[in-house]
Amino acid sequence: MKLIAVDPLLSQRLTIERLKVGSDGRVALTDMPGLGVRVDTAAMGAYLAPVRIKGGNEVIFEPVEL
């Protein structure tokens, strides 16, 4: 499967550790849980948008101030 990124540097800006890509193009797995990277929550702030979710006339989710 080939993934096409709109911004190839976005993953580098949003993560603290970098995945290591071998000369054969394969990514080595880490011993960290999940995808094996830590998200830089401070960098992610630039991409946050307030979202309100409604079901019928009832508000199900409303954002909180971060």
Task: Tell me how far apart the alpha carbons of residues 62 and 5 are, in angstroms, rounded to a whole number.
Answer: 30
Give 10-residue mean pLDDT values along the chain (66 residues): 64 81 83 84 86 92 78
Query: Cα–Cα–Cα angle for 40, 44, 20, nearest 5°?
Result: 45
Give the pTM: 0.50
Q: Which residue has the tokens 């702030």?
A: 45
Q: Judging by beta carbons within 10 Å of its beta carbon (0-12, 13-18, 19+), is residue 7 exposed, middle or buried?
A: exposed
